[in-house]
C-alpha cells in the first residue's frame, strides 16, 4: 500500500464514513499509517463537506454501534464509534474487531 | 476530542433518559445538550477565555461545564468558602471572563477587572429561553477544559490544568458507554470545585446514569435526598461518610435503594468503613485514589476486594482493606526512592503515575517528566500483589533524628485504639532530634484522655522512634470542606512550648 492511501489517524481526530452515518474518533493511533475505511470507502475527516453519499460495499454492512470501541490488533489502531451506521470498519482491508466492555466499578 | 462529545453521544444514544434532576421532572440528555449549546452561544459572545463558577451543586454546573467546552472556554469552578482576600486573588487570576456566582456567594469588592457577572438564575433562564444555536464542538483536544484550584493545605492554591484529551481519555478508559441500568441514579454532593465533582458529571453522563445534585453537604439532607430520589450510587469523601454513618446510627434511618458507594479523597478511618459495611450490607464499596492532577481516579479497591479482604483470615489480605487497591488498567504506578530509582514491593517511597489521563500541569507550567511520569508527592508502597498503600503527603513526613517517619502509619495504629475517635500525627521542632512526633487526639465518646496509655500502645506496635513524645487532646481536628486535614494549622497551634 502506498502512503498516499493511508489515513492520518492522530489520537483525538474524528472521521466519518463516506457511505453511511458512521462516525468514529481515534483513541489510539496505529504504529504505522494505515487506510481506514467504513462501508468499504475511505473514511473522511469529520466536519467536512457532506457530498452525496455513495453506496456501501454490500459485503461490508455489519454496521457500527454508538459507544463501542473497535480495534485492529495488527496496526494497534483503536477507535470509538461516536455515531452508529450501516457500514463495517476496515483497517487496511481487515475488519476491525469490537472490544469487550470495560468492567470497572464507578468511582466518582 | 472534547468533553462535550460525551454529552453529544449520550443525547444520541439515550434520548429518553433523565440526565440531571428528579425522576419525573429532570432534564433529559438531548435537552441538556440543547441548554449547553445555548450557554455556549452566549459564552462565545463574551471576552476572555474563562467561565468561572462560584457556587455549590446546581443545574448550572453541567451547563457551564459543557457550555464552556462547546464554546472553547475554560471552566473554572472556585470554592465559595475561600476567605475574601484569597478569593479576590483567585478571581484576579481568572480574569478576563464570565463569573457565575451562586445565590449565597459573597463577591469581593471591588471585583477584579475583566469579569462579567452572570447570576446563576440569569444563566439558567437565558439557556432555556434561547433557540438552539447548533454550536459545533470548537475546542481542540489539546485545549484546556477545566481549571481547578487545588486545596492548598500547605500554601497558596495552585491552579491545576486539565485538558480535553486527558479528561476524555479518563472517561473512555474507565467507563463503558451507557452501561448504567435505566433506574440508576448517582448523588453528587462533592462540590464542583473538587475534581470528583467534575468527573462525577462526566462519567455519569457517559454511563447514562441520572445525576441527583445536593447543593451543599450535610448528612441529614444527603440521606433524605438519597431516599427521596431512590439513589443507587454515590461518591463521598471520608468526613462525609463519617457523618453519614453517625447520622444513620443516631436516627435509625437506612438507604434501601443504595447499592454502590465509592469513597476517596483522603484517609478513611478503618472504624468508619467497618461500621458502614455493617450498616449497609447490600452496598458495594469502592475505595478510589486519585488527584486533581490525574483527572480523578488512578487506583481503586473494588467491591470484590472489599468482601474478600474483610472476611479473610490471612493478615496480608486483611491489611489490603486499608489499601487504595490496584492501578486502573490504563495507568502505570511506580514507587521511587529519593534518588528517583524504582523500588521493590513493600518498600516505602514516592508514588509516581503515568497515563493519558495524567495532566500534572499547573497554570505556570507542566510538572510531568519528559517520559510522562508525574510525581504525586504522596508517600506509599505497593505490596507483592500490586495493592497500593498510602501513608500521607511526603511534605508531612516527620524527620526525627535522621529517620523519615510517616504520620499515616502512626495514625493508623492510634486509630485502632478504642479510646481514639480521630487523630493527627505531626512533627514539631525539637532541639535534640530535629523534629519530635506529636499526636493530636480526639477522644472517643466517654473515653479518658490518657496520653501515656496511647504512647504505650504505639510503642508496643511500632518502633520506639515512632512513639509520640507528646499527646494533645482536642474536641475536633481541622478539616477543609472536602475532607483534607489541615496539618499546617495544627503545627501552628501546637508549635509553642508544650
Q: Who contacts B396 (Cβ-Cβ below 8 Å, separation ≥6)?
A: B407, B426, B427, B487
What CATH number was assigned to the domain covering residues B330-394?
2.30.38.10
- Closest approach of B301 to chain A, Cα-based (Å): 9
Q: Strand, coil or helix: what is B388?
A: strand
The whole-chain average pLDDT of chain B stands at 92
Quick check: is A73 in a domain?
Answer: yes
Percent of chain B at pLDDT > 70 equals 97
Quick check: is A72 in a domain?
Answer: yes
Which position has the higher pLDDT, A91 or B397? A91
CATH 2.30.38.10 residue ranges for chain B: 330-394
Q: Indicate whether B270 pLDDT > 90.
A: no
Query: Does B297 contact A47 at a Cβ distance shorter than 8 Å?
Result: no
Half-sphere exposure of residue B166: CA atoms within 13 angstroms, side-chain side: 28
Which position has the higher pLDDT, B209 or B321? B209
What dihedral angle (degrees, nearest 10) is formed by the CA atoms of B337, B342, B343, B345?
Answer: 130
Which position has the higher pLDDT, B495 or B152? B495
What CATH number was assigned to the domain covering residues B4-306?
3.40.50.12780
**What is the domain extent for residue A72?**
3-98
Percent of chain A at pLDDT > 70 equals 91
- Closest approach of A13 to chain B, Cα-based (Å): 7
What is the domain class of B397-494 according to CATH? alpha beta
Mean pLDDT of B349-365: 96
pLDDT band at residue A53 using 50, 70 and 90 as cut-offs: low
Quick check: is A104 in a domain?
Answer: no
- Burial class from Cβ neighbours inside 10 Å (0-12, 13-18, 19+) for residue B43 reads buried
Question: B interface mutation test: which of A46, A81, A106 has the most B CBs within 10 A?
Answer: A106
Quick check: is A82 in a domain?
Answer: yes
The pLDDT value recorded for residue B239 is 85
- Determine the Cα–Cα distance for residues A55 and A57; give it in Å rounded to an integer: 6
Lowest mean pLDDT among B109-123, B175-189, B278-292, B483-497: B483-497
The length of chain A is 108
The pLDDT value recorded for residue A38 is 96
The pLDDT value recorded for residue A3 is 46
Whether B467 and B414 have beta carbons less than 8 Å apart is answered as no
Mean pLDDT of B440-461: 94
pLDDT digits (tens, 9 = 90+) for B234-262: 999 988 998 999 999 999 999 999 999 99
Q: What ipTM was reported for this prediction?
A: 0.93
Question: B interface mutation test: which of A27, A84, A98, A108 has the most B CBs within 10 A?
Answer: A108
Q: Indicate whether B22 pLDDT > 80.
A: yes
Q: Which residue of B has its CA nearest to A79?
A: B172
- Of B73, B35, B81, the residue nearest B55 (C-alpha): B81
pLDDT band at residue A1 using 50, 70 and 90 as cut-offs: very low
Number of domains comprising chain A: 1
CATH 3.40.50.12780 residue ranges for chain B: 4-306
Q: Who contacts A2 (Cβ-Cβ below 8 Å, separation ≥6)?
A: none
pLDDT digits (tens, 9 = 90+) for B26-71: 999 999 999 999 999 999 999 999 999 999 999 999 999 999 999 9
Amino acid at each position: 500500500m502506498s502512503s498516499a492511501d493511508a489515513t492520518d489517524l492522530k489520537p483525538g481526530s474524528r472521521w466519518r464514513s463516506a457511505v453511511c452515518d458512521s462516525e468514529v474518533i481515534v483513541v489510539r493511533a496505529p504504529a504505522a499509517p494505515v487506510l481506514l475505511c467504513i462501508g468499504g470507502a475511505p473514511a473522511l475527516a469529520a466536519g467536512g463537506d457532506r457530498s452525496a453519499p455513495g453506496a456501501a460495499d454490500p459485503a461490508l454492512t455489519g454496521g457500527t454501534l454508538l459507544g463501542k470501541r473497535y480495534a485492529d490488533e495488527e496496526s494497534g489502531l483503536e477507535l470509538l464509534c461516536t455515531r452508529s451506521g450501516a457500514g463495517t470498519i476496515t483497517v487496511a482491508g481487515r475488519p476491525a474487531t469490537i472490544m469487550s466492555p470495560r468492567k470497572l466499578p464507578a468511582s466518582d | 476530542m472534547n468533553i462535550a462529545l460525551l454529552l453529544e453521544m449520550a443525547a444520541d444514544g439515550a434520548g429518553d433518559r433523565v440526565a440531571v434532576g428528579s425522576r419525573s421532572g429532570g432534564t433529559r440528555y438531548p435537552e441538556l445538550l440543547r441548554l449547553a449549546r445555548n450557554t455556549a452561544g452566549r459564552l462565545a459572545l463574551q471576552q476572555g477565555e474563562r467561565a468561572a463558577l462560584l457556587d455549590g451543586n446546581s443545574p448550572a454546573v453541567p451547563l457551564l461545564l459543557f457550555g464552556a467546552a462547546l464554546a472553547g472556554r475554560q471552566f473554572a469552578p472556585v470554592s465559595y468558602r475561600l476567605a475574601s482576600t484569597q478569593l479576590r486573588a483567585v478571581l484576579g487570576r481568572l480574569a478576563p471572563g464570565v463569573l457565575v456566582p451562586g445565590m449565597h456567594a459573597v463577591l469581593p469588592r471591588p471585583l477584579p477587572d475583566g469579569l462579567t457577572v452572570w447570576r446563576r438564575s440569569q444563566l439558567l433562564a437565558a439557556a432555556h429561553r434561547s433557540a438552539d444555536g447548533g454550536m459545533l464542538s470548537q475546542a481542540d483536544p489539546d485545549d484546556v477544559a477545566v481549571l481547578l484550584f487545588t486545596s492548598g493545605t500547605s500554601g497558596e492554591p495552585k491552579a491545576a490544568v486539565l485538558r480535553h484529551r486527558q479528561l476524555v481519555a479518563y472517561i473512555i478508559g474507565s467507563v463503558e458507554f451507557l452501561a448504567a441500568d435505566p433506574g440508576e441514579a448517582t448523588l453528587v454532593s462533592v462540590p464542583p470545585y473538587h475534581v470528583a465533582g467534575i468527573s462525577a458529571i462526566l462519567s455519569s453522563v457517559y454511563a447514562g446514569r441520572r445525576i441527583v445534585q445536593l447543593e451543599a453537604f450535610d448528612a441529614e439532607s444527603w440521606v433524605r435526598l438519597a431516599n427521596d430520589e431512590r439513589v443507587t450510587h454515590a461518591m463521598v469523601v471520608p468526613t462525609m461518610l463519617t457523618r453519614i454513618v453517625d447520622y444513620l446510627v443516631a436516627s435509625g434511618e437506612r438507604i434501601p435503594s443504595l447499592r454502590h458507594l465509592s469513597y476517596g479523597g483522603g484517609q478513611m478511618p478503618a472504624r468508619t468503613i467497618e461500621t458502614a459495611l455493617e450498616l449497609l450490607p447490600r452496598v458495594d464499596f469502592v475505595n478510589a485514589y486519585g488527584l486533581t492532577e490525574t483527572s480523578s481516579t488512578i487506583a481503586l479497591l473494588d467491591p470484590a476486594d472489599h468482601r474478600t479482604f474483610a472476611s479473610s483470615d490471612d493478615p496480608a489480605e486483611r491489611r489490603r482493606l486499608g489499601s487504595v487497591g490496584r492501578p486502573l488498567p490504563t495507568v502505570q504506578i511506580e514507587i521511587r526512592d529519593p534518588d528517583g530509582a524504582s523500588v521493590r514491593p513493600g518498600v516505602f517511597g514516592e508514588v509516581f503515575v503515568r497515563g493519558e489521563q495524567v495532566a500534572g500541569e499547573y497554570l505556570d507550567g507542566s510538572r510531568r517528566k519528559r517520559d510522562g511520569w508525574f510525581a504525586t508527592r504522596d508517600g506509599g508502597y505497593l505490596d507483592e500483589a500490586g495493592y497500593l498503600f498510602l501513608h500521607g503527603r511526603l511534605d508531612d513526613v516527620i524527620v526525627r533524628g535522621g529517620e523519615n517517619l510517616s504520620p499515616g502509619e502512626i495514625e493508623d495504629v492510634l486509630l485502632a485504639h478504642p479510646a481514639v475517635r480521630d487523630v493527627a500525627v505531626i512533627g514539631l521542632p525539637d532541639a535534640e532530634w530535629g523534629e519530635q512526633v506529636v499526636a493530636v487526639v480526639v477522644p472517643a465518646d466517654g473515653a479518658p484522655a490518657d496520653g501515656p496509655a496511647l504512647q504505650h500502645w504505639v510503642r508496643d506496635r511500632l518502633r520506639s522512634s515512632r512513639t509520640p513524645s507528646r499527646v494533645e487532646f482536642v474536641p475536633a481536628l481541622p478539616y477543609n470542606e472536602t475532607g483534607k486535614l489541615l496539618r499546617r494549622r495544627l503545627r501552628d497551634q501546637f508549635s509553642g512550648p508544650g
